[in-house]
Amino acid sequence: MNRYGDGFNGRFEPVLRFETVRSDPAWWFVCDGSRLWVRREADGSFSLPRVTRALFLGLATDPVPHPLGYLDGVACQAVGADSNAETTDPQGQWLDLRRLHGRLPQDLFLLAGRAIQIVAWDRTHRYCGQCATTLVFAENDRAKQCPACGLRQFPRLAPAVMAMVVRGTEVLLARGPEFPEGMFSILAGFVEPGETLESCVRREVAEEVGIEVGPMRYLGSQPWPFPHSLMIGFVCEYRAGALRPDGVEIVEAGWFDYRALPPHPGPMSLAGVLIADFVADCTQRFGVA
Protein backbone atom coordinates (compact mmCIF):
# COMPACT_ATOMS: atom_id res chain seq x y z
CA MET A 1 0.00 0.00 0.00
CA ASN A 2 1.22 3.46 -0.88
CA ARG A 3 -1.66 5.91 -0.82
CA TYR A 4 0.59 8.52 -2.38
CA GLY A 5 1.86 6.36 -5.26
CA ASP A 6 4.22 8.48 -7.32
CA GLY A 7 2.06 11.47 -6.41
CA PHE A 8 1.39 12.38 -10.03
CA ASN A 9 0.28 9.17 -11.78
CA GLY A 10 2.88 9.73 -14.48
CA ARG A 11 1.69 13.27 -15.27
CA PHE A 12 4.86 15.01 -14.06
CA GLU A 13 8.18 14.98 -15.89
CA PRO A 14 11.04 16.33 -13.74
CA VAL A 15 13.84 18.28 -15.42
CA LEU A 16 16.99 20.07 -14.32
CA ARG A 17 16.66 22.78 -16.96
CA PHE A 18 14.39 23.76 -19.80
CA GLU A 19 15.93 23.23 -23.22
CA THR A 20 14.59 26.50 -24.64
CA VAL A 21 13.59 29.87 -23.24
CA ARG A 22 9.88 29.57 -22.55
CA SER A 23 7.36 32.28 -23.38
CA ASP A 24 4.18 30.36 -22.49
CA PRO A 25 2.56 30.68 -19.05
CA ALA A 26 4.05 28.43 -16.38
CA TRP A 27 3.07 27.40 -12.88
CA TRP A 28 5.17 29.55 -10.54
CA PHE A 29 5.98 28.35 -7.03
CA VAL A 30 7.06 31.55 -5.29
CA CYS A 31 8.50 30.65 -1.89
CA ASP A 32 9.80 32.26 1.26
CA GLY A 33 10.62 29.69 3.93
CA SER A 34 7.58 27.42 4.21
CA ARG A 35 5.27 30.09 2.79
CA LEU A 36 3.92 30.13 -0.74
CA TRP A 37 2.42 32.93 -2.83
CA VAL A 38 -1.09 31.85 -3.84
CA ARG A 39 -4.26 33.32 -5.26
CA ARG A 40 -7.64 32.85 -3.62
CA GLU A 41 -10.47 31.74 -5.88
CA ALA A 42 -14.14 32.70 -5.57
CA ASP A 43 -15.04 29.26 -4.17
CA GLY A 44 -12.52 29.60 -1.32
CA SER A 45 -9.92 27.32 -2.87
CA PHE A 46 -6.44 28.48 -3.81
CA SER A 47 -4.43 28.38 -7.01
CA LEU A 48 -0.89 29.18 -8.03
CA PRO A 49 0.07 32.03 -10.33
CA ARG A 50 0.23 30.91 -13.94
CA VAL A 51 2.17 33.62 -15.74
CA THR A 52 5.09 33.86 -18.14
CA ARG A 53 7.50 35.36 -15.62
CA ALA A 54 7.37 35.65 -11.83
CA LEU A 55 8.39 39.31 -11.93
CA PHE A 56 4.93 40.07 -13.32
CA LEU A 57 3.65 39.46 -9.78
CA GLY A 58 5.58 42.51 -8.62
CA LEU A 59 7.43 40.50 -5.97
CA ALA A 60 11.12 40.93 -5.20
CA THR A 61 12.32 37.49 -6.26
CA ASP A 62 15.69 35.75 -6.39
CA PRO A 63 17.46 36.33 -9.71
CA VAL A 64 17.51 32.72 -10.88
CA PRO A 65 14.39 30.48 -10.96
CA HIS A 66 14.66 26.73 -10.49
CA PRO A 67 13.10 24.54 -13.19
CA LEU A 68 11.07 21.73 -11.63
CA GLY A 69 9.64 20.03 -14.71
CA TYR A 70 6.40 19.70 -16.64
CA LEU A 71 2.98 18.92 -15.17
CA ASP A 72 0.62 17.87 -17.95
CA GLY A 73 2.99 19.63 -20.35
CA VAL A 74 2.95 22.92 -18.42
CA ALA A 75 6.32 24.16 -17.18
CA CYS A 76 6.74 24.44 -13.40
CA GLN A 77 9.28 26.84 -11.90
CA ALA A 78 10.29 27.68 -8.34
CA VAL A 79 11.73 30.97 -7.17
CA GLY A 80 12.55 32.51 -3.81
CA ALA A 81 10.97 35.80 -2.80
CA ASP A 82 10.74 38.27 0.06
CA SER A 83 7.38 37.87 1.77
CA ASN A 84 7.71 41.37 3.26
CA ALA A 85 7.98 43.03 -0.15
CA GLU A 86 5.09 44.89 -1.70
CA THR A 87 3.35 43.33 -4.68
CA THR A 88 1.26 44.44 -7.62
CA ASP A 89 -0.77 41.22 -7.54
CA PRO A 90 -4.03 42.12 -5.73
CA GLN A 91 -5.34 38.54 -5.82
CA GLY A 92 -2.34 37.02 -4.07
CA GLN A 93 -1.34 36.32 -0.50
CA TRP A 94 1.29 34.40 1.46
CA LEU A 95 0.19 31.18 3.16
CA ASP A 96 2.13 28.48 4.98
CA LEU A 97 2.17 25.27 2.97
CA ARG A 98 0.53 23.35 5.83
CA ARG A 99 -2.58 25.50 5.48
CA LEU A 100 -2.82 24.67 1.80
CA HIS A 101 -3.30 20.93 2.21
CA GLY A 102 -6.66 20.06 0.72
CA ARG A 103 -7.01 23.60 -0.64
CA LEU A 104 -4.55 23.13 -3.49
CA PRO A 105 -4.78 20.23 -5.95
CA GLN A 106 -2.69 17.33 -4.61
CA ASP A 107 -0.23 17.44 -7.51
CA LEU A 108 0.45 21.15 -7.02
CA PHE A 109 0.72 20.66 -3.26
CA LEU A 110 3.40 18.00 -3.74
CA LEU A 111 5.28 20.19 -6.21
CA ALA A 112 5.05 23.10 -3.78
CA GLY A 113 6.84 20.98 -1.18
CA ARG A 114 9.56 20.21 -3.71
CA ALA A 115 9.85 23.89 -4.62
CA ILE A 116 10.14 25.04 -1.02
CA GLN A 117 12.93 22.57 -0.32
CA ILE A 118 14.91 23.47 -3.45
CA VAL A 119 14.64 27.22 -2.82
CA ALA A 120 15.69 26.77 0.83
CA TRP A 121 18.65 24.62 -0.24
CA ASP A 122 19.76 27.24 -2.77
CA ARG A 123 19.57 30.02 -0.19
CA THR A 124 21.49 28.12 2.49
CA HIS A 125 24.18 26.63 0.24
CA ARG A 126 25.79 29.62 -1.42
CA TYR A 127 29.39 28.88 -0.47
CA CYS A 128 31.62 25.83 -0.28
CA GLY A 129 31.86 24.43 3.23
CA GLN A 130 35.40 23.28 2.50
CA CYS A 131 37.06 26.36 0.96
CA ALA A 132 34.38 29.11 1.05
CA THR A 133 34.31 29.58 -2.74
CA THR A 134 30.96 30.59 -4.26
CA LEU A 135 29.16 27.47 -5.49
CA VAL A 136 27.78 27.02 -9.00
CA PHE A 137 25.01 24.72 -10.23
CA ALA A 138 26.18 21.33 -11.47
CA GLU A 139 25.53 20.42 -15.09
CA ASN A 140 23.85 17.02 -14.83
CA ASP A 141 22.56 16.78 -11.24
CA ARG A 142 20.32 18.68 -8.89
CA ALA A 143 23.45 19.79 -7.06
CA LYS A 144 25.90 22.63 -6.53
CA GLN A 145 29.60 22.28 -7.13
CA CYS A 146 32.64 24.20 -5.96
CA PRO A 147 34.67 25.38 -8.98
CA ALA A 148 37.80 25.51 -6.82
CA CYS A 149 37.93 22.21 -4.93
CA GLY A 150 35.18 20.19 -6.66
CA LEU A 151 33.03 19.55 -3.55
CA ARG A 152 29.41 18.76 -4.43
CA GLN A 153 26.41 19.74 -2.33
CA PHE A 154 23.06 18.05 -2.94
CA PRO A 155 19.69 19.19 -1.57
CA ARG A 156 19.38 18.13 2.03
CA LEU A 157 17.03 15.20 2.61
CA ALA A 158 16.53 13.54 5.99
CA PRO A 159 14.91 10.06 5.83
CA ALA A 160 12.72 9.23 8.80
CA VAL A 161 10.76 6.07 9.59
CA MET A 162 7.22 5.93 10.93
CA ALA A 163 6.49 2.79 12.93
CA MET A 164 2.88 1.72 13.45
CA VAL A 165 3.07 -1.07 16.02
CA VAL A 166 -0.04 -3.26 16.18
CA ARG A 167 -1.22 -5.91 18.64
CA GLY A 168 -4.37 -7.59 17.41
CA THR A 169 -7.05 -4.92 17.28
CA GLU A 170 -4.86 -2.42 19.13
CA VAL A 171 -2.36 0.11 17.84
CA LEU A 172 0.43 1.75 19.79
CA LEU A 173 0.04 5.52 19.90
CA ALA A 174 2.29 7.93 21.73
CA ARG A 175 2.60 11.61 22.57
CA GLY A 176 5.73 13.73 22.42
CA PRO A 177 6.27 16.76 24.67
CA GLU A 178 5.50 19.13 21.77
CA PHE A 179 2.08 17.54 21.16
CA PRO A 180 -1.07 19.17 22.55
CA GLU A 181 -2.51 17.38 25.57
CA GLY A 182 -4.52 14.38 24.42
CA MET A 183 -3.07 14.27 20.88
CA PHE A 184 -1.34 11.00 19.92
CA SER A 185 0.44 9.59 16.88
CA ILE A 186 2.55 6.63 15.81
CA LEU A 187 6.27 6.48 16.57
CA ALA A 188 8.81 8.14 14.29
CA GLY A 189 12.52 8.83 14.14
CA PHE A 190 15.36 9.78 11.84
CA VAL A 191 17.58 7.19 10.18
CA GLU A 192 21.19 7.29 11.37
CA PRO A 193 24.24 6.95 9.08
CA GLY A 194 24.92 3.33 8.15
CA GLU A 195 21.52 2.16 9.38
CA THR A 196 18.89 0.25 7.41
CA LEU A 197 15.28 1.35 7.58
CA GLU A 198 14.31 -1.86 9.37
CA SER A 199 17.06 -1.43 11.97
CA CYS A 200 15.91 2.13 12.52
CA VAL A 201 12.35 0.97 13.20
CA ARG A 202 13.52 -1.53 15.82
CA ARG A 203 15.88 0.97 17.44
CA GLU A 204 13.40 3.83 17.60
CA VAL A 205 10.65 1.66 19.08
CA ALA A 206 13.02 0.22 21.69
CA GLU A 207 14.49 3.62 22.58
CA GLU A 208 11.22 5.52 22.78
CA VAL A 209 8.88 3.04 24.48
CA GLY A 210 11.05 0.06 25.52
CA ILE A 211 9.36 -2.75 23.59
CA GLU A 212 10.49 -5.22 20.94
CA VAL A 213 8.80 -5.63 17.58
CA GLY A 214 8.65 -8.64 15.27
CA PRO A 215 7.89 -8.88 11.55
CA MET A 216 7.38 -5.61 9.72
CA ARG A 217 6.46 -4.48 6.24
CA TYR A 218 6.72 -1.29 4.27
CA LEU A 219 3.45 0.56 3.73
CA GLY A 220 4.15 3.86 2.01
CA SER A 221 6.12 7.08 1.93
CA GLN A 222 5.52 10.80 1.92
CA PRO A 223 7.77 13.78 1.22
CA TRP A 224 7.51 16.09 4.22
CA PRO A 225 9.01 19.52 3.48
CA PHE A 226 8.94 20.79 7.08
CA PRO A 227 11.74 21.35 6.48
CA HIS A 228 13.31 18.50 4.45
CA SER A 229 12.23 15.00 5.45
CA LEU A 230 11.11 11.87 3.64
CA MET A 231 8.71 9.88 5.82
CA ILE A 232 8.84 6.10 5.29
CA GLY A 233 6.02 4.14 6.89
CA PHE A 234 6.11 0.61 8.31
CA VAL A 235 3.63 -1.56 10.18
CA CYS A 236 5.19 -3.96 12.66
CA GLU A 237 3.87 -6.57 15.05
CA TYR A 238 4.37 -6.30 18.79
CA ARG A 239 6.66 -9.02 20.13
CA ALA A 240 7.56 -8.43 23.77
CA GLY A 241 8.00 -5.93 26.59
CA ALA A 242 6.03 -3.43 28.62
CA LEU A 243 5.60 0.17 27.54
CA ARG A 244 8.16 2.46 29.16
CA PRO A 245 8.13 5.94 27.57
CA ASP A 246 11.61 7.46 27.65
CA GLY A 247 10.29 10.72 29.11
CA VAL A 248 12.26 12.79 26.61
CA GLU A 249 10.93 12.15 23.11
CA ILE A 250 7.83 10.31 24.38
CA VAL A 251 5.97 11.39 27.50
CA GLU A 252 2.92 9.15 27.18
CA ALA A 253 2.14 5.96 25.26
CA GLY A 254 -0.60 3.36 25.24
CA TRP A 255 -2.41 0.63 23.36
CA PHE A 256 -5.66 1.80 21.79
CA ASP A 257 -8.42 -0.32 20.28
CA TYR A 258 -9.35 0.70 16.74
CA ARG A 259 -12.88 1.50 17.95
CA ALA A 260 -11.70 3.98 20.60
CA LEU A 261 -8.79 6.00 19.27
CA PRO A 262 -7.73 9.32 20.83
CA PRO A 263 -7.28 12.46 18.71
CA HIS A 264 -4.56 11.78 16.12
CA PRO A 265 -3.17 13.26 12.87
CA GLY A 266 -5.45 13.63 9.88
CA PRO A 267 -4.95 12.73 6.22
CA MET A 268 -2.36 15.45 5.58
CA SER A 269 0.34 13.29 7.16
CA LEU A 270 1.47 9.75 6.48
CA ALA A 271 0.79 8.95 10.14
CA GLY A 272 -2.88 9.82 9.68
CA VAL A 273 -3.10 7.75 6.50
CA LEU A 274 -1.56 4.69 8.18
CA ILE A 275 -3.85 4.95 11.20
CA ALA A 276 -6.91 5.30 8.94
CA ASP A 277 -5.85 2.21 6.98
CA PHE A 278 -5.43 0.25 10.24
CA VAL A 279 -8.95 1.23 11.32
CA ALA A 280 -10.39 0.32 7.91
CA ASP A 281 -8.65 -3.06 7.93
CA CYS A 282 -9.85 -3.90 11.46
CA THR A 283 -13.37 -2.74 10.66
CA GLN A 284 -13.47 -5.02 7.64
CA ARG A 285 -12.18 -7.98 9.65
CA PHE A 286 -13.89 -7.50 13.00
CA GLY A 287 -16.77 -5.10 12.33
CA VAL A 288 -17.86 -1.96 14.11
CA ALA A 289 -18.69 -2.12 17.81
pLDDT digits (tens, 9 = 90+) for 251-261: 999 999 999 99
| CATH classification code of 158-286 | 3.90.79.10
Alpha helices per DSSP H over the chain = 106-124, 197-209, 270-286
Supply the pLDDT for residue 4. 52
Contact 230, 158 (CB under 8 A): yes
pLDDT in tens, 145-163: 999 999 999 999 999 999 9
pLDDT in tens, 156-202: 999 999 999 999 999 999 999 999 999 999 999 999 999 999 999 99
* pLDDT confidence band for 2 (50 / 70 / 90): very low
pTM here is 0.87
Supply the pLDDT for residue 35. 94
| CATH classification code of 12-124 | 3.90.79.10
Domain regions of the chain by residue span: 12-124, 158-286
Supply the pLDDT for residue 29. 95
Candidates 34, 31, 75; CA nearest to 57 is: 31
Residues with Cβ within 8 Å of residue 90, at least 6 apart in sequence:
none
Percent of residues, the chain, with pLDDT higher than 70: 96
* pLDDT confidence band for 215 (50 / 70 / 90): very high
Mean pLDDT of the chain: 91
Contact 114, 225 (CB under 8 A): yes
Supply the pLDDT for residue 259. 96
Mean pLDDT along residues 117-124: 94
pLDDT in tens, 43-98: 878 999 988 876 667 777 788 889 999 999 999 999 999 888 777 777 789 999 99
Supply the pLDDT for residue 1. 40
* Residue 22 clears pLDDT 90, i.e. is over it: no
Mean pLDDT along residues 211-236: 95
In angstroms, the CA 65 to CA 30 distance is 9
Percent of residues, the chain, with pLDDT higher than 90: 74
* Residue 3 clears pLDDT 90, i.e. is over it: no
